[in-house]
Amino acid sequence: MSARLRFAVLFPWSWVLLVLAGCSTLPPLPERTSSAAFTDTRATTLGRIAETSLAEAGPGESGFRLLPTGDYALEARLALAARAERSLDVQYYQLQRDSVGLRFLRELGDAARRGVRVRLLVDDLYTSGEDELFRSFAALPNVQVRLFNPLPMRNGSLLTRLFWSLHEFGRVNHRMHNKLFVADNRFAVSGGRNMADEYFMQSASANFIDMDVVAAGPVVREQSAVFDRYWNSEHAWPVESVVPATLAAGEAQRRFDELVRDAAPDLELAPNDPLGEHAVGIELAAGQVSLTFAQVEVFADAPAKVGRADRSDSVATVARSTLEAIGGARQEVLIASPYFIPGPIGMAMMKEARSNGIRIVIMTNGLGATDEPLVHWRYARYRRELLKLGVEIYELSPELAREAGTFGNFRKSFGRLHAKVAVIDRRKLFVGSLNLDQRSAWSNTEAGLLIDSPHLAEGIVALLENDHKESVYQLRLGADGESIEWVVTGADGSKQTLADEPHNDWLLRLRMWLIGPLTSEDLL
């Protein structure tokens, strides 16, 4: 059961459980030392490479490089960490104890032992059973670990921890969904990927199609400032304040080495990614990274969003800023969002856009691809109206994505969409952590970049509209104008029409019939 589903199902019964849950509380927030990103990193190796890579950038421009495949996205992070000399600032919603998570932590640990300051901020929702890992990592010299908005219960599964946190539901329902990796305050990697196997094509069962972006230039300093706001916020708790020490420092360090010893080996990379680029590590070794220069806006929710209940609050949010950017389209909007629930505001925006002749294309997960069936169930309620408006809808097929192989080698696993991308008039490109649903709008903190680059925008369009056509079902209205059909396009251009929704079996329909009435769209 996903975290969204747990929140949605447990919430209606929280009043019954308040007494049971009342004994679990957090200790008082201890005094913490504030810190900030280093700014004197121009003379570092990464600083020199960044300057060389940005030599032809215009005034105020930053440099960008898309990372559409998991292997290249992981390699970029590892290569940057291996060359860092001053600092690594790392912020993730999820960092799993699997081959990717352990490999990543091992690289961070190696950097810390070289004298690099490592600040790791992880949302506490998915840390069940990982106290030993994060506590032992924090025992390394030069390493600090903080947990964002910790749950009052440390032990047990995620469901158990949520159960015993229901008396603080209003707080723990709000999570830090941001993803950011900054090396020496000179290069940054941000986007949609968490640190876990399935985001980097390393899972044996299912892998996500996602999008990250490497950045250099002034934008990195802005992203570092965002990280500092989160790191120093009252919602970021030092791991040692919520996880008691069970080992002396030396023993904890040795335990960390034991935990990461069997991490994944070095990656086997394809010669080029789908956009024709070489691996970032190869370019770093050559002393210059291939970048596209552009102006950019940094969107980032304030950490205090987790404590804000009033939706009339005028504080800017990533959701609001992104919708305003999309609302400025004059010709076309292409959106990829794994969890898509437009709600009344989104529907009103699309209705107005369509009345002005603006093309709207939505790509999201099909029922068989989603890891959040309850979200899909809610989204499905909008499909007919969207199609009647003339919105183009594409749903990812898990089997077709695997066969197409555009975004990597899925092997025997199947594909799921996780990228959060919007292309506006084939000029502006949003890449970030924001899903177009109510949870991202109101319950999670989010971050993203709005890049003004026709070149990068066309790269995304090529991936979504051209290379990806064989991976999706195109939805259309049936002859009666009410039913929905799913159209599959083959490699040879042939089309097959399905009248029944793929993967919609009776057991899933029964689950949604039972659970659906208990949920609120605001929690999804």
- Percent of the chain past pLDDT 70, that is, above it, reads 89
Q: Which helix (H) or strand (E) holds 359?
A: strand 359-365
| Helix or strand run (H / E) with residue 383 | helix 373-389
Residue 18 is predicted with a pLDDT of 46
pLDDT score recorded for residue 517:
67
What whole-number distance in Å separates Cα of residue 138 and Cα of residue 297? 33
State residue 511's pLDDT score.
Answer: 73
DSSP strands (E only) in 105-142: 117-123
> According to DSSP H, which parts of 328-372 are helical?
343-355
Q: Is the pLDDT of residue 468 over 80?
A: no
Alpha-carbon gap, residue 62 to 286, rounded angstroms: 20
CB 214 within 8 A of CB 280: yes
Phi, psi (deg, nearest 5) at residue 158: -60, -45
At residue 15 the predicted structure's pLDDT band, cuts being 50, 70 and 90, is very low
Show the DSSP H helices in 182-331 as ranges: 218-231, 239-242, 249-260, 280-286, 318-327
Q: Is the pLDDT of residue 93 over 80?
A: yes
Q: How far apart are CA 383 and CA 378, in angstroms?
A: 10
CB–CB of 454/427 below 8 Å?
Answer: yes
Residue 454 pLDDT more than 50?
yes
CB atoms within 10 A of CB 397: 25
Tokens of 259: 């935990």
Binned at pLDDT 50, 70 and 90, residue 21 comes out as very low
User: Where on the phi/psi map is residue 488: left (φ > 0), alpha (ψ -120 to 50), or beta?
Assistant: beta
Find out whether 236 and 146 touch, Cβ atoms under 8 Å: yes
Per-residue pLDDT for 171 more than 80?
yes
Q: Which residue has the higher pLDDT, 158 or 459?
A: 459
Please tell me the predicted confidence (pLDDT) of residue 12.
52
Spatial separation of the C-alpha atoms in residues 278 and 65, rounded to whole Å: 11
227-236 average pLDDT score: 97
Strand ranges (DSSP E) for 70-157? 87-92, 117-123, 143-148
Ranges 211-225, 426-440, 487-501: which has the least confidence:
487-501
Give the Cα separation of 152 and 170 in Å (integer). Answer: 13
Task: Assess contact for 410 and 203: CB atoms under 8 A.
Answer: no
**Dihedral Cα 393, 399, 405, 406, nearest 10 deg:** 10
**Between the ranges 15-19, 32-36, 48-52, 472-476, where is the mean pLDDT highest?**
48-52
What is the per-residue pLDDT for 13?
46
User: Using one digit for the tens of pLDDT, what is the confidence trace for 289-343?
Assistant: 999 999 999 999 999 988 765 655 545 689 999 999 999 999 999 999 999 999 9
Task: Examine the pLDDT at 117 and tell me if it is beyond 60.
Answer: yes
Of 5-19, 231-245, 504-518, which one has max mean pLDDT?
A: 231-245
Indicate the residue type of 247: L
In 3D space, the residue among 220, 207, 212 whose CA is nearest the CA of residue 193 turns out to be 212
Residue with tokens 């990717």: 100
Percent of the chain at pLDDT exceeding 90: 68
What is the structure's pLDDT at 459? 93
Find the mean pLDDT for residues 208-224. 97
Asked if the model's pLDDT at residue 5 lies above 80, the reply is no
* DSSP of 102-114: HHHHHHHHHHHHT
Mean per-residue pLDDT of the chain: 89
CB-based contacts of 190, cutoff 8 Å, min separation 6: 179, 180, 181, 212, 213, 215, 223, 431, 432, 433, 447, 448, 449
How many Å apart are CA 513 and CA 515, to the nearest integer?
6
CA distances from 285 to 43, 73, 79, 397 (A): 16, 17, 9, 38
Measured distance CA(19)–CA(381) in Å, rounded = 37
User: Can you list the domains of the chain with their CATH numbers?
Assistant: 63-286 (3.30.870.10), 299-523 (3.30.870.10)
The pLDDT value recorded for residue 524 is: 61
Q: Per residue in 330-379, pLDDT tens?
A: 999 999 999 999 999 999 999 999 999 999 999 999 998 888 888 999 99
Catalytic annotation, residues: 177, 179, 184, 418, 420, 425
Length of the chain: 524
Instruction: Name the band, by pLDDT with cuts 50, 70 and 90, for residue 493.
Output: confident
Minimum mean pLDDT range among 38-42, 186-190, 252-256, 307-311: 307-311
Are the beta carbons of 81 and 107 closer than 8 angstroms? yes
